[in-house]
Amino acid sequence: MTKAGDDRPIMDHEYDGIKEYDNPMPRWWLLLFLVTILLVPVYYFAPGDIGHGAKKEAMYQKEMAAFKAAHPDAGGGTVTPEQMAAIVADKAEVEKGKALFAVNCVSCHRADGGGLIGPNLTDDYWIHGGTPVEIHTTIDQGVLAKGMPNWGKILKPDQINSLTAYVVSLHGSNPANPKAPDGVLVAATPAAAASAPAAAPAKTP
Amino acid at 16: D
**CA 200, 76, 159, 60: dihedral to nearest 10 degrees?**
-150
Select from 36-44, 91-99, 161-169, 186-194 the region that touches other proteins (CB under 8 A).
36-44
Query: Is residue 64 at the binding interface for other proteins, with CB under 8 A as the rule?
Result: yes
Show contacts with other proteins in window 111-140 (CB under 8 A). Answer: 115-119, 127-128, 138
Query: Is residue 47 at the binding interface for other proteins, with CB under 8 A as the rule?
Result: no
Residue 125 CA to residue 35 CA, distance in Å, equals 70
Residue 97 CA to residue 168 CA, distance in Å, equals 10
- 191: buried, middle or exposed (CB in 10 Å: 19+, 13-18, 0-12)? middle
Between helices 157-169 and 132-141, what is the axis angle to 10°? 130
Closer CB to other proteins, 22 or 95, in the complex = 22
Query: Is residue 43 at the binding interface for other proteins, with CB under 8 A as the rule?
Result: yes
Residue 113 CA to residue 91 CA, distance in Å, equals 18
Residue 67 CA to residue 70 CA, distance in Å, equals 5
Tell me the number of residues near other proteins by CB under 8 A: 68
Can you tell me which of 111, 182, 187, 196 binds other proteins, judged by CB under 8 A? Answer: 182
Can you tell me which of 27, 79, 98, 108 binds other proteins, judged by CB under 8 A? Answer: 108
Contacts with other proteins by CB under 8 A lie at 4, 7, 9-13, 15-26, 29-30, 32-33, 36-37, 39-40, 43-44, 52, 55-57, 59-60, 63-64, 67, 70-71, 74, 103-104, 107-108, 115-119, 127-128, 138, 143-149, 153-157, 179-180, 182
